[in-house]
Structure 1
Amino acid sequence: MSDARSPQRITVLGAGSWGTTFAKVLADAGRDVTLWARRAEVAGEVASAHTNSAYLPDIRLPDNLTATADPAAALEEAQAVVLAVPSQSLRSNLERWRALLPPGVPLVSLAKGVELGSLKRMSEVIAEVAECPPDRVVVVSGPNLAKEIALGQPSAAVLACADHERAVAVQQACSNSYFRPYTNTDVVGCELGGACKNVIALSCGMAVGMGFGTNTVATLITRGLAEMARLGSKLGADPLTFAGLAGVGDLVATCSSPLSRNRTFGERLGRGDTVERAQSAAGGQVAEGVMSCSSIRELAGGLGVDMPITDAMYRVCHEGGDLRSLGAELLGRERKHEWS
């Protein structure tokens, strides 16, 4: 079992919108937070002006949140480390940071995806690269649109860890007046929910971009949830997880909000943009579902799990598939019982 004391000095590695927002959450919970930014100018702005205009314009960051572009300085004396880089670059970044990580501290993952090639979940990548036991990794998931949380709007999340005491320690570290974290021991279910919802959000955005309405979006959300649950069941996840914050909660937020990068990316594709033009319009911010649809499709295929929406998104994003013909194909699938 872990030492249940809640960390006070916390380092967040990654100064994008969610990394910066989670750093603010921790600071507003009374923690001393250091944010590592890849670009020195971002670190300098956060440290001196307490803003990150590149990712969270018009948001004032707390005084107990500082920043640096030096990972060694950021990690010195850290009592917990939050990994806030995109899923497909997590491994390469962590390999550079591994020797700097303080021994035994919780490693908190904000990344949502399944790694290309290895088909590993983010907690598995962290445990492998950091050479640490899996129960040292805490996964954050849930309906967590960064801008809303940064504005202090009420939100909740789930912290999943095989070691419940460690999850509780991190829970105490990030609980504040507007952010309510719950704990869970189903790491598999929470991670799969966080990865799969990005792919389903692409499909919802495409539907909106093509001019379809609420019925279509609700259908995609619900059938997307069924896909997630099928995959989770095959991998030993608790079915109740998909009815919670990491499942339906995250799915509804990501599929419905214009603040969602994946939904917005899909909407551009639905209006006729190419993947390349949609990526350029996103200003360099990552729509995780574009890459995750490939790894999730491969993972599901190897397990014999039927995920037709995920397959369709892969064909659109990576094979140039036609949206309208794929939509007709989905509607024309064999009729069956809802839960079969």
Structure 2
Amino acid sequence: MVKVPRIKLGSQGLEVSAQGLGCMGMSAVYGPPKPEHDMINLIHNAIDAGVTLLDTSDVYGPNTNEILLGKALKGGKVRENMEVATKFGIKYENGNYEVYGDPAYVRAACEGSLKRLQIDCIDLYYQHRMDTRVPIEITMGEMKKLVEEGKIKYVGLSEASASTIRRAHAVHPITAVQLEWSLWSRDVEHEIVPTCRELGIGIVAYSPLGRGFLSLGPKMAENLAEGDFRQNLPRFQPENLENNKMLYERVSAIAVKKGCTPSQLALAWVHNQGNDVVPIPGTTKIENLRQNIGALSVKLTPEDMAELESIASADAAKGDRYMDGFPTYLNSDTPPLSSWKA
């Protein structure tokens, strides 16, 4: 298996593995939690292969994914060489996702994550979604205090608009923005990616395999476990699936020519977006982990990239990324600082 190299993420000094590991599906969202022993073994396999950036959030479970990661990293030697990224800002309450960004919540969430992860400092701490009731300057002010207190090293945002990123970065440097970026989610290329590059902010691409669709196509969509969040997503609905199947088939045909799997080709495309981009594919199977790391060996020519982008244009996938009303960067702008009354 290829050893994953290290790269700089953002311009604040953070170094991470060129490919990270998204841990969400081990505990939540994509069906029932997987056996703890197996998931710890998977994480250790990733570490042995050079993956050092591990991504989680307090809402995954909720809380159970951070607890799992804490157990996997227990022991100073393992922890020393890792970059733990977690997030705050979303609570799952009464069947709905609620977003919070007020200072008291930020601090309480950080303290909770530190305990569950069994660490003294979070390497990269993201605001998971933007609280549209709280000026971003207020939320960032509290995160800045947590940096000064040594509880977090680097600050990130997830699913933030370009204007939100600019306002946040003016309060404290943003090291990374996490966003959905893949061959079937390219809307971020218009404004958000250029803004990150202008400001020297690293990019962490989640769901780089189209939530698994670019690995197995309709077969995956037809075999989702009960309770799998993806059953509700517009792109997996019958009215959109037939169109999206054609996208998968065209990617698969190019993968055959390149001598790799569709998932490796899709991941290689993300890697080829620049040395400031780190994809964090998630998996619960060691074989898939090995395949994902193998994408680092897939060489794409400018002609390959052009061909892929012609079949996977910005509007190639049918259906929105999320259900109506789900918080994303499209509605992440926060009120002006002058409106805040503590």
- What TM-score, normalized to structure 2? 0.33
In proportion to residue count, which structure has more helix? Answer: 1
Relative contact order (alpha carbons < 8 A, sep ≥ 6): 1 or 2 greater? 2
